[in-house]
Amino acid sequence: MCGIAGQIDYDQNLQTQVETLKQMQAVLRRRGPDQEGVFLAEHAALSHTRLCVIDAERGRQPMTVCQGSRACTLVYNGELYNTEELRSALSRLGWTFSGHSDTEVLLKSYMEWGTDCVSRFNGIFAFAIWEAAAETLFLARDRMGVKPLFFSLLSGGGLVFASELKALLRHPAVPVELDGNGVAELVLIGPGRTPGCGVFRGVRELLPGQCGTFSREGGLRLWKYWSLQARAHTECEADTIEHVRFLVEDAIRRQLVSDMPVGTFLSGGLDSSIISAVAARALAEKGEVLQTFSVDYQDNDLYFTSGKFQPSSDNPYIASMAAFLGSRHTNVVLEPPQVARALFDAAEARDLPGMADIDSSLLLFCQAVKEQVTVAISGECADEIFGGYPWFRDPSVRPENGFPWAQSTAWRASFLTPEYAARLDAEEIVRQRYRGTLRQVDCLDTDTPEQRRSRQLMRLNMDWFMQTLLDRKDRMSMWSALEVRVPFCDWRIAEYLYNVPGELRNLGGQEKGLLRAAMAEWLPEEVLRRKKSPYPKTVHPAYLRLVSQRLQRLLDEGTSPMFAFIRREALEALLTHDDPQPWYGQLMTAPQTIAYFLQLDRWLHLYRPRLI
């Protein structure tokens, strides 16, 4: 993948602002270490850092294409998976191509079809196109929000955008400020984020499936080009199974295209095993052997205890699946001190406190994977789309009116100082965000209450929980310049599953039963029937000791900037390790909650936001 940044300003000559652009570019270099370039015009400045995956020489950016008096310049982060279909359609319309990059296809698609081009794309992307004659910028983000794009409207009337917050904040006209809404995001919502919110005051993120233009006359105009639409599901069970099989296999095969080595993440769970099985066969057809990668922790089997949300250890299933595939397998084993040390890098990579060691372990894992491949394929998003989480099926683990993965608003609010607790109505803030999402859920008049609730849960998970995981995957992988693709995030799968009744998604009474039925021929029986187990985390007591000691040092020093809005007493209570409430979802329990506040402290030191 890549990193993009830029500025549009109609009241100054940006050709004199190259140093500002290069400062923004410099902090995105981890996303794209192979090539970089800038484009400067009087009112537009665009930057690109590139990770070369396809057509290294003729896919350079910024890319400018001229057609008569018309000139368009593109900076693009992402990958198109229907490049060849688009290229064929454009060729029939008279377009020619100098190389085989998707960059050239994307830009010429825009020049042929205008802003409607995004409706033709199957891929993950965030891009900006400067139309020179009209002096108009076009911005777009993929339907599922896999690739990020932040922006800020400047007080002087311009616009600045970037792939990551750290690059946006390098622009001197973007204030580094944290208001009450930002504190609410950190303490009441984090590590999730309200859709479109950039946490810092005045910073926004383009929504999934959103695009827009910025022009001298019209300013910024944004619109959604895609959202989940309710339709009647008319296919029988057998046809539904066959349809899902086609969509999943097609998505995986499309995402294997690369000029660089490709591997898969393998946990021994259903989702990663399906991806690995399809990928292994596709590569075998070309005489190649799949490389698979898994993550584990020192002595985890010694300390692992089976529970409701983590019923089994991954290791036996990984070994079984790797043998079944005949893959070249690498198991990356992490030690507690490594995971604890990487918490700070993970916070810097995400530009926010995140999922603690769930983030830092992934960052370390991606670094190890990058030593062998440039592109990896992962199983994210199957649970959100196929209904894999317990709260999709079990009403006892989800509230009637609230986010299933964040049921501790009152406890979270207890961390706020009295000043901020009085300033922020915690329950109402979370309630408004929840209801705001429900208002966007498209339903049919004929939907039963169960069908309506099923649609609501899918939309809530896609807009909130899935975006947190996609943020994590993008930032942790791009910190190591590893491109990670997510086939289950193919918009065609989401669009189809949105209209499949919940009882059919859970065919046979098992979570993701429909997916299991569709892909049964690809997997050994023990993997096919394995109950869901989440991303593995360290359960070594040494990790809890390490993060607890760090937090105790912060409390003893008493100078942390987070004490401006976080109560010391609440942090001290964390060190008793006896609060059963999870901070976020099934994974962030006591060790991760402690680590979250360590990341918050680090983040405040890194970015030094002014509290307002």
**Burial state string for 546-572 with b = 16 or more CB within 10 A and e = fewer than 16:** bbbebbeebbeeeebebbebbbeebbe
Residue 404, preceding peptide bond in cis (omega within 30° of 0): no
Closest to 2 in 3D by CA, of 81, 58, 73, 59: 59
- Token pair, residue 142, equals 């993929």
Q: 334 forms bridges with which residues in the sheet?
A: 297
d(CA 50, CA 36): 6
- Token pair, residue 9, equals 């300003």
d(CA 430, CA 434): 6
> Is 232 within 8 Å of 240 (Cβ atoms)?
no
> Is 269 within 8 Å of 388 (Cβ atoms)?
no
d(CA 495, CA 612): 41
d(CA 5, CA 17): 13
- Check the CA dihedral 52-55-56-59 and report its sign: negative
- Token pair, residue 23, equals 């400062």
d(CA 165, CA 518): 40
CB atoms under 10 Å from CB of 306, counted, come to 9
d(CA 348, CA 390): 32
* Sequential DSSP letters for 477-540: HHTTT-EEE-GGG-HHHHHHHTTS-HHHHTGGGSTTHHHHHHTGGGS-HHHHTPPP--S-----
The CA-to-CA distance between both ends of the chain, in Å, stands at 36
For helices 336-350 and 357-370, what crossing angle results, to 10°? Answer: 90
- Token pair, residue 412, equals 């979270």
HSE-up (13 A, CA, CB side) for residue 39: 27
Closest to 256 in 3D by CA, of 221, 224, 291: 291
> Is 120 within 8 Å of 94 (Cβ atoms)?
no
- Token pair, residue 96, equals 């020619």
Answer yes or no: 2 catalytic: yes
HSE-up (13 A, CA, CB side) for residue 531: 10
Query: By three-state DSSP, how is residue 98 classified?
Result: coil
2, 52, 366, 381: the catalytic one is: 2
Return the residue matching tokens 């910190």: 479
Q: What is the strand order of the sheet 291-297 is part of?
A: 328-334, 291-297, 262-265, 375-377, 483-485
Q: How many residues does the chain have?
A: 612
Are β-strands 63-67 and 44-50 bridged in parallel, bridged antiparallel, or unpaired? unpaired
Q: Which residues are catalytic?
A: 2
